[in-house]
Amino acid sequence: MDTLGREGPWEEWKGSVQPALMFSFVFLVCLEACMWVRNHGQKRGPPGPFPWPFVGNAMQLGQAPHLTFCKMTQRYGNVFKIRLGNHDIVVLNGSSTIREALVKHSSEFAGRPNFTSFKIISGGKSMAFGGYSDLWKVQKRIAHTTLRAFSTINAETKKQFEHHVASEVQDLIQVYLHLSSGGQYFDPYHECTVAVANVMCALCFGKRYSHDDQEFKALVGRNDKFGQTVGAGSLVDIMPWLQAFPNPVRSLYRSFKDLNIEFFDFVKSKVSRHRETYKPEVTRDMSDAFIGVIEHGSGASLDKDYVEGTVTDLLGAGQDTNSTALAWIILLLIKYPHIQQKLQDEIDRVVGQDRMPTAEDKTQLSYVQAFIYEALRFSSFVPLTIPHSTTSNVIIDGFCIPKDTVVFVNQWSVNHDGTTWNNPDIFDPERFLDEHRQLNRDLTYEVMIFSMGKRRCIGDQLSMLQMFLFTTIMLHQLSFHANPKEELTMDCINGLALKPVPYTVTVRARKHAASEVSTL
């Protein structure tokens, strides 16, 4: 045949295209290699694990992401990148790195991600979850000023607040004694939460509730469940396709939305009554103060819904943080009875039996303060801050982080860093005492539980004062004892805050507690 030994048109085209395809392939590989060398050689972007399609690195995080992040630092360093759903997320670890970001570059890291779930919280007017803006700055200033005005702004308000906290502790003591009658064991968490919530309700609404009040029990229950479901909201934010089919996350997300609506409705009903009886010349509580400033004063740039939003934030955050801290404190008291005895010895030596402990005793109760700081450090019950986002391009540890990047801040890594803390996984209050048995202030600043920078919790001083008064007054009046049938564990329930696995305890009145003891 005349075609034998000759190339047809297809063979000629194929022969010319193959070299071009090979050249293009090699070119693309080289280009990718150059990009990798540039990004990694000049540290333009943080390193991180390989992300899988659709889910990214979600399956690698496990039940305790903060611990996973600590392990990842060993390979990738204190700044690395993960992918969750369709979001690239930068994770910050270690004291120096986090302080550089949140303090030195506080404005650049002051943002919040534009998550749908964040817009549900506090009616979309949340200070804690709201974006960084001029309105946010006004809201924070008003909230901070008002909170201090009703608690710690001067000696008089501090004394009034202290008296109220002491009354709540004494009421809690009577409830605990009743629950312990006949040597019974009980879960201390719920009653502890009611006492803490009452402190904030008195500040916000000028009212406290009985431990048996059904409306108040419902309020406390809502806030507790909020912490358990808030993670589901974040997962749906970064992986919205989870709502497309039945799964546990979708169910939790619906609960998250319902709980936020219920809690916000509770606050709205209280604020509404305050508006109906509001008198400019009389400020009964913080709700009145917020109404006065936001609706009738210098905060008029905010619409009136910011009153309910701010009150909801303060009520929810104060209740959850302090009740969780006290749950850990009581667990540690029964886990380490020899430490409980040392605490009581110091309180008895400084305070005596004729009066209650007060905030003025704080400077002389160094071991008590050391115990509280160690409880916060050891438990690190807020392991990750609420997610941040960058407000502009910023460089941290040599890595460029673009604007609008979601940022996770791993507080656990700060509190369990072996370079700062000797044997960080051992509970030891002595680490906070110097050679003169005084509190080492420099070391207490290393504990990170309230975040820092522009997003630092505005109620941090209030929380520390409450924890001190609750701890000292309870130990002055009671001894706490573990249930011998239970094995005490430091395991926890994951949520917005890490809560101890439920445990039971019994209390006994100390010998001097039955005698007449003067109050504040």
* pLDDT given for residue 210 in this prediction: 85
DSSP sequence for 314-361: HHHHHHHHHHHHHHHHHHHHHH-HHHHHHHHHHHHHHH-SSB---GGG
Residue 485 CA: distances (Å) to CA of 110, 176, 345, 488, 505: 48, 20, 28, 9, 11
Q: What angle do the packed helices 337-351 and 366-379 form, to 10 degrees? A: 150
CB atoms under 10 Å from CB of 7, counted, come to 11
CA atoms lying within 13 Å on the CB side of residue 400: 10
pLDDT at 44: 79
Query: Considering the entire predicted model, what is its pTM?
Result: 0.88
pLDDT at 520: 47
Average pLDDT per consecutive 10 residues, the chain (520 residues; last block may be shorter): 42 46 44 44 79 88 91 97 91 96 97 88 91 94 94 88 94 96 94 91 89 76 65 67 71 79 90 95 94 84 92 86 95 98 98 95 97 98 94 96 96 96 96 96 96 94 95 98 95 87 96 52
With H, G, I as helix, E, B as strand and everything else as coil, classify residue 393. Answer: coil
The CATH code belonging to domain 47-107+383-415 is 3.30.43.20
47-107+383-415 shares its CATH topology with 108-380+416-514:
no
Report pLDDT for 149. 92
Instruction: Name the residue among 161, 157, 160, 126 with its Cα closest to residue 143.
Output: 126
- 201-236 burial code (b ≥16 CB/10 A, e <16): bbbbbbebbebeeeebbebbebbbbbbbbbbbbbbb
Alpha helices in 42-154 (DSSP H): 58-61, 65-76, 95-99, 134-149
User: How far is C-alpha 344 from the chain's CA centre?
Assistant: 29
Give the end-to-end CA distance of the chain in Å, rounded to a whole number: 116
Domain boundaries, the chain: 47-107+383-415, 108-380+416-514
* Listed residue (48, 107, 116) closest to 83, CA to CA: 48
Q: What is the pLDDT of residue 2?
A: 41
> Whose CA is closest to 113, among 229, 238, 228?
238
- Classify domain 108-380+416-514 at the CATH topology level: Cytochrome p450 (1.10.630)
